[in-house]
Amino acid sequence: EPHLQISPSILAADFANLERELGRIADADWAHVDVMDNHFVPNLTLGQPVVEALARVSPVPLDCHLMIEDPDRWAPGYAEAGARSVTFHVEAAADPVATARAVRAAGARAAFALKPGTPFEPYEDLLAEVDMVLVMTVEPGFGGQSFMDDQMPKVAAVREAVRRRGGEIWVQVDGGVSQDTIGRCVEAGADVFVAGSAVYGADDAAGRIADLRRLARE
């Protein structure tokens, strides 16, 4: 059985109380940190100094999702800031091979992300350089959007390519993942689940994480 992992997105957390909000997801496998720069996506969140501060207090490793221009320049800095996984978008990277290598050299797991309109096939060879692929199941930029079912064939294609290659590369889904949609993601071959509003919108975040784990195993 694959190791199914839950990565709650703090985008849906109370930004005035991030240490406390990280404490609510101590049972999760990761804390997903959405970095947005107002250019790659029309929203602005936080950057390297905040990631550094979060890494000092987080009970779980940080899974940094960079929705920024020029990740070639910035991605390794997030690994140096303490993120244990750094994901950059292929649409923004000029040299994704070098960027993935630089992230790994800085001590983090490396991953690339695909927006809903971006096909996987042109990037299949990049699997040699990464530890995870993120298939977006909403347009990046905002939490609370509806899950895009039409991305499931892409998840299946990534899973199949990973299986053919051999080795252990995780397949992450992000956007609209909830109790209602996690089953479809598992079925398509995902094994790392980002959930923002589903976890932080619950009164009992730990209970919701447990629900998601149970539903993923069903």
Q: For ligand DX5, which residue of 115, 143, 152, 188 counts as binding (CB under 6 A)?
A: 143
To the nearest whole angstrom, how small is the minimum distance from the Cβ of residue 40 to ligand DX5?
Answer: 10
Q: Looking only at residues 45 through 74 of this chain, which bind Zn ion when binding is defined by CB under 5 A? A: 65
2 vs 116, which CB is nearer to ligand DX5?
116
197 a known binding residue? yes
89 touches Zn ion (CB under 5 A)? no
Contact region for ligand DX5 (CB under 6 A) — 91-99, 102-110, 135-143, 203-211? Answer: 135-143
Dihedrals phi, psi of 109, to nearest 5 degrees: -70, 145
Helix (H, G, I), strand (E, B) or coil at 32: strand
201 a known binding residue? no
Active-site residue identified among 29, 37, 131, 174: 174
142 a known binding residue? yes
Active-site residue identified among 34, 63, 131, 191: 34
Q: For Zn ion, which residue of 37, 63, 174, 191 counts as binding (CB under 5 A)?
A: 174
Q: For ligand DX5, which residue of 4, 11, 28, 186 counts as binding (CB under 6 A)?
A: 11
191 is catalytic: no
Neighbours of 142 (CB within 10 A): 15
To the nearest whole angstrom, how small is the minimum distance from the Cβ of residue 170 to ligand DX5?
Answer: 16
CB 31 within 8 A of CB 50: no
107 a known binding residue? no
To the nearest whole angstrom, how small is the minimum distance from the Cβ of residue 43 to ligand DX5?
Answer: 8
Contacts of 53 (CB under 8 A, 6+ apart): none
Which of 54, 183, 38, 72 is CA-nearest to residue 63? Answer: 54
Following DSSP, what letter does each residue of 172-213 receive, concatenated? EEESS-STTTHHHHHHHT--EEEESHHHHTSS-HHHHHHHHH
Say which amino acid occupies 101.
R
Q: Which residues of the chain form contacts with ligand DX5 (CB under 6 A)?
A: 9, 11-12, 32, 34, 65, 138, 140-145, 174-177, 194-198
As annotated, the active-site residues are: 34, 174
